[in-house]
Amino acid sequence: MNLLTEPVGLTHYLLVGAVLFVCGVVCMAVKRNALGVLMGIELVLNGANVNFVAFANGNLRSDGDWALGLDGHLIALFVIVLAAAEAAVALAITLNFYNNHSTVDVDRAEELHG
């Protein structure tokens, strides 16, 4: 089975979602500044969104009628709204940290520990 010669299907979307997710996790683990970590979080959320939309195809219900299958799209829209709110709050925290420490290096945030 060669993925390059097949028509685009669920496997292709799941592969793209997995690649985005893994890239986001690696970015969160490797980056030392707050903006790089935020980019990694956004990649993880976008990888999950691709998977939600990939599984949101029309499904046959028990009564024999086809369901529209917008559940994955609505969940992805909700995740996008949450990601925008998270990015706004995290960017405000990062800018405040930069004003106090003149850097966005997360290793210098020792005083933020509880």
Task: Tell me what pLDDT residue 45 has.
Answer: 94
Task: Tell me what pLDDT residue 43 has.
Answer: 95
In a domain, 51, yes or no: yes
Helix axes of 10-30 and 34-54: crossing angle, nearest 10 degrees: 160
Q: CA separation (Å) from 8 to 1, 3, 14, 25, 109? A: 13, 8, 11, 26, 45
**Full residue range of the structural domain in which residue 55 is found:** 33-103
In a domain, 41, yes or no: yes
In a domain, 108, yes or no: no
Task: Tell me what pLDDT residue 8 has.
Answer: 80
Task: Tell me what pLDDT residue 106 has.
Answer: 74
Task: Tell me what pLDDT residue 66 has.
Answer: 62
In a domain, 12, yes or no: no
In a domain, 89, yes or no: yes
In a domain, 17, yes or no: no
Amino acid at 87: A
Task: Tell me what pLDDT residue 47 has.
Answer: 95
In a domain, 13, yes or no: no
Which residues in the chain show pLDDT less than 50? 60
In a domain, 18, yes or no: no
What's the structural domain count of the chain?
Answer: 1
Task: Tell me what pLDDT residue 105 has.
Answer: 81
